[in-house]
Amino acid sequence: MPEFPYSRLRRWPDVEADNLQAYDATDLLLVDRALALAAERGIDGSQIAVIGDEYGAITLALTDAGMRGIRVHQDLATGRRALTRNATELGIDGFAAHELDAALLDGARVVLLQLPKALAELEEIADAVARWAAPDPVLVAGGRVKHMTLAQNEALGRSFGVVQAQRAERKSRLIVASEPREVPVALPFPVTAQHEGLTLVAHGGAFAGARLDIGTRVLLDVLGGSRGGASQTPWRVIDLGCGTGALAVSYALAHPEAEVIATDRSAAAVASARATAAANGVDERVTVTHDDAGSELPDGWADVVMLNPPFHLGTSIHSGAATRLFEAAARLLRPGGELFTVFNSSLGYRAELTRIVGDTEQLHRTPKFTVTRSIRR
């Protein structure tokens, strides 16, 4: 069998750069272990589930090797689009996409996982596998050694009786979990927390969980003051990269006449934001979409865009993620519309915001965060 052409995979529509590629050594280790387990246990692709396959390397390599019927869950909209694009480019089909639910895992005997950054996300995934997979599943989780911690083993151990770390290879390591424990009747996620009149609901993969992160809190404080004397409340507002929906829901609560859209590329964030909107009684006025940088929203629609951009791409620090969102905001705003952005003060995005969006002023600055307002030219 010819070797799978990993080098032909692309990250598109995610950021592409010389130091970023669409696969890593962990993907290769997971594929090799899956093929070995399939031969050892006599299983086919319909009994394999893949979670966290960033750009499709695991799913496509296994399908190309004859493991048809694989079920795959990717949290990010960019990953889902990349998988579809890479599959089309390579002429591969025979797999099915799912959310993180019973349909993904029903009857699965081998589950492959690219370890997520957040322990809460790992806990939710481990519980799902123990809850919904076959009675004898093997969960094979992998990651780059430099990003792995003992806390990940402990998180897996809460859902599995046996957790064994494997020998590191090519700076990656696999953890094999088996013998699922009895799961609680109630699902452990989403979780809920109260914040001064705002209820936040969060799945494990949502940034900051049910906490109100510091950057969002700073931006909310500035928004409350900066628009207090405005002559006209904006009717159309977008929370770009909404996370759990704190900005969108807070705005909807303060401005009942506004039309608010919250959008995020993370499925966990979208599920959380929808639950947050419902918990605060504004789900009929806040529309939440799973999208890549608001790509499905119309140009020039918004009067205001609110943005708390990430500065990581996976485990890599890269400014490209914020730049794409700045460009999206410029497209989504009407001329004269306002972009409110909060970012780590050390990043100094003001010049870039001026270049991409329009005149940008600093509204507030702390030792850690800066809030700016950009007027769409």
Kindly list the structural domains of the chain, giving each domain's residue range(s) and its CATH number in brackets, ordered by start: 6-180 (3.40.50.150), 191-375 (3.40.50.150)
| pLDDT > 60? residue 156 | yes
**Phi, psi at 290, each rounded to 5°:** -95, 110
Q: What is the pLDDT of residues 254-306, one digit of tens each?
A: 999 999 999 999 999 999 999 999 999 999 999 999 999 999 999 999 999 99
**Which of 13-17, 141-145, 271-275, 326-330 has the lowest average pLDDT?**
13-17
Q: In the structure, what pLDDT confidence band is assigned to residue 348 with cuts at 50, 70 and 90? A: confident
> What is the structure's pLDDT at 18?
86
On whether the CB atoms of residues 220 and 374 are closer than 8 A, the answer is no
Q: In the structure, what pLDDT confidence band is assigned to residue 232 with cuts at 50, 70 and 90? A: low
Predicted model pTM: 0.94
Q: What is the pLDDT of residues 180-201, one digit of tens each?
A: 999 999 999 999 999 999 999 9
- Average pLDDT for residues 338-352, to the nearest whole number? 95
> What is the structure's pLDDT at 319?
53
| pLDDT > 70? residue 56 | yes
- Average pLDDT for residues 229-235, to the nearest whole number? 57
> What is the structure's pLDDT at 1?
56
Rounded to an integer, what distance in angstroms lies between the CA atom of residue 277 and that of residue 38?
Answer: 43
Q: Classify residue 194 by burial, with Cβ atoms within 10 Å: 0-12, 13-18, 19+.
A: exposed
**Phi, psi at 12, each rounded to 5°:** -45, 135
On whether the CB atoms of residues 18 and 316 are closer than 8 A, the answer is no
Mean pLDDT of the chain: 94
> What is the structure's pLDDT at 316?
46
Q: In the structure, what pLDDT confidence band is assigned to residue 372 with cuts at 50, 70 and 90? A: very high
